[in-house]
Structure 1
Amino acid sequence: MGNEIFNPYKKFSKNDESQIKEEINVKKSFEEFNLDNLVPFKNQPFKVYSNDEMKELKDSIERIGLQNPIIVRRLENNKYEILAGHNRARAFKELGKEKIPAIIQDVDDDTAQMIMIDTNIVQRQNMTTMERAKAYKLKDEIKKRKRYDIDKVEENLSDEEKEQLASEESRQTFYRYLSLTNLIPEYQAKCDDDSLSVRAGEQLSKLNEQQQRKIYEALGDSKITENKAEELRKLANTFDEFTVDIIKENFNGDKNTIKSSIKFTKKEMEKYFSDFKSIKEIKEYLIRLLEEIDEKSENSPYGEKYY
């Protein structure tokens, strides 16, 4: 038998009475709490359900009851902070109910936050990319402080949910999502609408805010694949001054690739190209020089290459 929280609304037959008693003995007890005494968790990264999702949840509650009690922790003045179950509490209110089943956890701030994060990760079916990324960022900060009670966190998860967390949060995946929190808002939005993949976002996240904004200004809503993002990152690191013109002149929109580039140091640029006003002028100048060299080579009676 797993560690699933006992469902107070589940219907059992008489033949299940022994099982019910066994489950009640091993499960945490729950109480009915007045909805007016509940307050939301501050700065939690998860969005409220859409109207369609909320309707589906309310229909489910009316049809089969609440499958899991919410989780709260005690505050002052007879108030309780919701750690898990914000949408369930909202659904109960909209259904005109006054109370909701809840489990009390008397825990510190870091443990409370970790319970809030892990229960949402395993229970939400339509979590966006950036919801997960921001949750991982909070989780990373909590882990670094090393003050939370892991046993208190895990007792709110079933064995299946623990396995789910372990499989979804490999070190590589965890830090890949975490990197997305370094993206500018425009690219975070693209991660959420799936027009920018997690891997492509990871590449762009290695650039600073100014470089990302130059790319967005130059390319706008053009699709950026993982390979393209990697080439853009390399291009940004090629130039001491990364500009919109450089991006546009090096970006081949037709082939969806980045053209090859040559890196010049700032000193070399000042020494050889200080009189030029743009990369385009420098390019044209270098091409003319190469053409002159080729012409001299072709006209040489000895077939010499003037390089």
Structure 2
Amino acid sequence: MEVRKEDQRDPDEKVVEIEIERLRDFKNHPFKVQADSQMKELQESIKKYGILNPLIVRPRPEGFYEIISGHRRKYAAQQLKYTKVPVIIRYMIEEDAIISMVDANLQRERISPSEKAFAYKMKYDVLKRKAGRRKCSQVDYLTGKKSVEVISEECGDSPKQVQRYLKLTKLIPELLEKVDDETMGFTIAVELASLTEKNQKTVLDAMESTLGTPNLSQAIRIKKLQEDGNFSQEKIEELLSEIKQKDIDRVVFKNEQLYRYFPSYYTAEQMKREILTLLKINMTFE
């Protein structure tokens, strides 16, 4: 089994077993732990081989241990009725713990846009605080790099893309969920994130009223309505009622149709991923 970067450890570090009840998820942990097909695979692996990679935790003054890396392993172990799990205890301050937690979880195979957005935001805020303490700016005087540039180099997205992800954190949850389940495009969501919270809710109401989703051109025009002071639900509905050619040819399934074949706890995004995976598998045998 491949050892991930965050699980590589100093040979002198000791692995100990700790009761699951003494473990706590990281505060404001942005990554979801889902009961999907990957979780089932992880549970099967743990059944056969046990937990090969210890969880990384840090002690807290309250007497529990906060998980830095291993939230999915902890969940899988709980489902298998484990009472203890192997861990490595590391002592680190809050800021270092946040960066370690983010970097560890960004290596997951599947990360939703909202997870990456809030992970980048947590890391960005830490880097900005560190730079601010040094020189009262967002630039680290030791490296001469802005926080978004540091994240870009360490995480693989361009600085502009990092900024787009940071902007996504300004979306209301209902619109952000549409980005995660891919019923609304990423770039479109970035444009709508410029709207006030009140206006975002108005857009959401208009989308539900018209059963439409703005394309990029419409999203830009919606943002312009706010800038010009002409924003209203009536105008948004008028925009969304425009016929888009790609919507004419789009294949749509209702969730009720799909739940006949998937567990009730699956999200729309999970069902879509499972369907695409099955189609890919089917193509390999043709």
TM-score (norm 2): 0.68
Deviation at 1:107, TM superposition (A): 0.6
123, 127, 132: which is aligned to 2:116? 132
C-alpha distance in 2 between matches for 1:119 and 1:106: 16
Q: How does 1:275-286 map to 2 (within 5 A)?
A: none
Equivalence for 1:223: 213
Amino acid at match of 2:214: I
CA contact (8 A) 1:5 1:27 kept: no
58, 74, 96: which is aligned to 1:111? 96
C-alpha distance in 1 between matches for 2:28 and 2:189: 24
Deviation at 1:57, TM superposition (A): 1.1
Q: 3-state SS of the aligned residue for 1:71?
A: strand
Equivalence for 2:182: 194
Aligned residues: 225
Equivalence for 2:172: 184
Deviation at 1:255, TM superposition (A): 4.3
Q: 3-state SS of the aligned residue for 2:218?
A: helix
Q: How does 1:81-92 map to 2 (within 5 A)?
A: 81-92=66-77
Residues 67, 168 of structure 1: alpha-carbon distance in 2 compared, 3 angstrom cutoff: farther
C-alpha distance in 1 between matches for 2:7 and 2:198: 51
Residues 217, 96 of structure 1: alpha-carbon distance in 2 compared, 3 angstrom cutoff: closer
Q: 3-state SS of the aligned residue for 1:254?
A: coil
Deviation at 1:256, TM superposition (A): 6.8
Residues 42, 234 of structure 1: alpha-carbon distance in 2 compared, 3 angstrom cutoff: same
Q: 3-state SS of the aligned residue for 2:169?
A: helix
C-alpha distance in 2 between matches for 1:236 and 1:198: 20
C-alpha distance in 2 between matches for 1:242 and 1:27: 62
C-alpha distance in 2 between matches for 1:70 and 1:171: 31
Equivalence for 2:242: 253
Q: 3-state SS of the aligned residue for 1:103?
A: strand
Equivalence for 1:61: 46
Which shifted more, 54-63 or 71-80?
A: 71-80
CA contact (8 A) 1:6 1:27 kept: no
TM-score (norm 1): 0.63
How far does the alpha carbon of each residue in 1:259-296 deviate from its partner, in whole angstroms, 9 at most, with x for none? xxxxxxxxxxxxxxxxxxxxxxxxxxxxxxxxxxxxxx
Deviation at 1:141, TM superposition (A): 1.3
How far does the alpha carbon of each residue in 1:131-167 deviate from its partner, in whole angstroms, 9 at most, with x for none? 111112212211111189xxxxxxxxxxxxx999735
Q: 3-state SS of the aligned residue for 2:29?
A: coil
Unaligned runs of 5+ in 1: 8-23, 149-161, 258-307
Q: How does 1:18-167 map to 2 (within 5 A)?
A: 26=11, 28-50=13-35, 52-76=37-61, 78-122=63-107, 124-146=108-130, 166-167=154-155
From the CA coordinates, give the structure whose radius of gyration is larger: 1
Residues 250, 90 of structure 1: alpha-carbon distance in 2 compared, 3 angstrom cutoff: closer
Unaligned runs of 5+ in 2: 134-149, 247-286
Which shifted more, 194-203 or 79-88?
A: 79-88
C-alpha distance in 2 between matches for 1:83 and 1:48: 14
CA contact (8 A) 1:228 1:256 kept: no
Residues 164, 67 of structure 1: alpha-carbon distance in 2 compared, 3 angstrom cutoff: farther
Which shifted more, 162-171 or 99-108?
A: 162-171
Deviation at 1:179, TM superposition (A): 0.7
Q: Percent identity?
A: 32
